[in-house]
Every structure is written in structure tokens, then in C-alpha cells.
Amino acid sequence: MKIGILGTGMVGNAIGSKLVTHGYEVMMGSRSATNEKAAEFVKNAGKGASQGTFAEAAMYGEIVFNCTKGEVSMEVLKLAKEENLTGKILIDVANPLYFEKGAIPTLSVCNTDSLGETLQRNFPSVKVVKTLNTMNCNLMVNASLVPGDHDIFICGNDAAAKTKVETILRNDFGWEHILDLGDITNARATEMLLPIWIRLYGKFQSPNFNFHIAK
């Protein structure tokens, strides 16, 4: 299956590399078709990896991952163009973090809205599925990095799209416990886990932890 990745940072690199390992063909998209970080990804990931603009990656992928920083996600999706994404699944792993010098990051949108909802509202022909946004990128693609039972949340308006995404989470990333919260409005609930995630990261001095709902 062909996958488009928007964003050449650690998150896009972790997801893209893992998917290539599992036999997917992955195009990493960035502002420029010759982005150096994307070129390094292509070199390291090897056969099956390619690079292009945001629009080219969006056009290429049957499923597209939004791995950009939340603050630029809307802009990147506009560059990717809705016509290249119509009817496709957009897996939104981003968080609307607002970084201010010397302060713990806050959310630029929350409580009555979210980044996931913003993307769905602005690109109505795209099937936005919010998941993977409540953890570090190495854990995203390798659930066994944290021992014991722990959970991943998923939400989105299209049930069939969520089923497809769950298959990737399960088979390629090793997730056993997937909690479907319902439609995309639930994105605000998972994005609002970031404030405590950030504080726990500071406390533990390690990103290798995850939420588990004990019951």
C-alpha cells in the first residue's frame, strides 16, 4: 500500500521508516521536493521510500499521515490540497502545542475544539482519523517499548476508516488495546492529555510511558 507522510521531523521519520520495513511504499512530503531531511529518510529507509512536495505525497498516498507540528498543520494541509486527499484517510497524529520561551507548552486550541476537528471541518471530503497523538513517536510504532498493558485512543467520523487504521496500529505498530472514543469531536479529549503527558515526561525524564485505563 502507498502511504504519504506530511512532515519530515522525528514523528514522520519514525512512522515512515517502520512502514517501509513492513513493505509499504512511503513518500515523505515537505515544502520542497528536495528537502534534506526527507532525502536522508529515503537514503536510510531504502527501497520503497521516496520524497516529494506536500501535494505530491498527498496525491501518492492511499492513506496519508499528518506528522507536522500542530501550529503548521492547517497551512501544510492547504499546500497538500484537498483535491489530492478527497475520499482518503488522513491519520492526524499532531497536537496543537503552543511553545512559548521558558514556559511549559500549552494548547493553541482545546476544550470546545481541537486540531483534529479543525482539520475535519476545513477538509470535509477527507476522512480524518485522530490517533497516536498521546505518546512519543518511538512508542507510536512499537507498542512493546512500554511493558504491560497500555492503551491507544482513536476517533473519527468514518467507521470503515477507523477499522483500516486499527489494522495498521495492530499489525504494523503492535497495538493490542485500542480504545475507540467515537467521532472526531473526541479529538479534543485526547489532545487535552498533552498537558499531563508533558509534565510526566519532565518528571520521569523519559518519554517511555503511556496511558492505561485500568478497569
| Calpha distance 195→209 (Å, rounded) | 14
| Calpha distance 186→134 (Å, rounded) | 13
CB of 107 to its own copies, least distance (A): 5
CB of 106 to its own copies, least distance (A): 5
Show contacts of 70-75: CB within 8 Å, 24+ apart.
Answer: 70/94, 70/95, 70/96, 70/97, 70/108, 70/115, 71/96, 71/97, 71/98, 71/99, 71/108, 73/115, 73/119, 74/118, 74/119, 74/122
* Binding-site member from 71, 74, 170, 211 for its own copies (CB under 8 A): 211
Judged by CB under 8 A, the stretch of 36-44, 72-80, 119-127, 200-208 that binds its own copies is 200-208
How far from the centroid of its chain's Cα atoms is residue 200's Cα? 21
210 binding its own copies? (CB under 8 A): yes
Residues 139-158 that bind its own copies (CB under 8 A): 146-150, 153
Binding footprint of its own copies, residue count (CB under 8 A): 36
CB of 104 to its own copies, least distance (A): 8
How distant, in Å, are the alpha carbons of 1, 113, 117, 123, 133 from that of 96? 29, 11, 11, 17, 10
Radius of gyration of the chain (CA): 16
User: Quick one: cell of 214?
Assistant: 485500568
192 binding its own copies? (CB under 8 A): yes
Judged by CB under 8 A, the stretch of 35-43, 70-78, 165-173, 187-195 that binds its own copies is 187-195
97 binding its own copies? (CB under 8 A): no
Closest CB to its own copies among residues 125, 144: 144
205 binding its own copies? (CB under 8 A): no
186 binding its own copies? (CB under 8 A): yes
CB of 130 to its own copies, least distance (A): 12
Closest CB to its own copies among residues 101, 215: 215
Q: Which residue has the cell 513492513?
A: 22
Q: Please check whether residue 13 is in contact with residue 68, taking contact to mean a CB–CB distance below 8 angstroms.
A: no
Residues at the site binding its own copies, with contacts judged by CB under 8 A: 106-107, 110-112, 146-150, 153, 179, 181-182, 186, 188-190, 192-193, 195-196, 198-200, 203-204, 206, 208-215
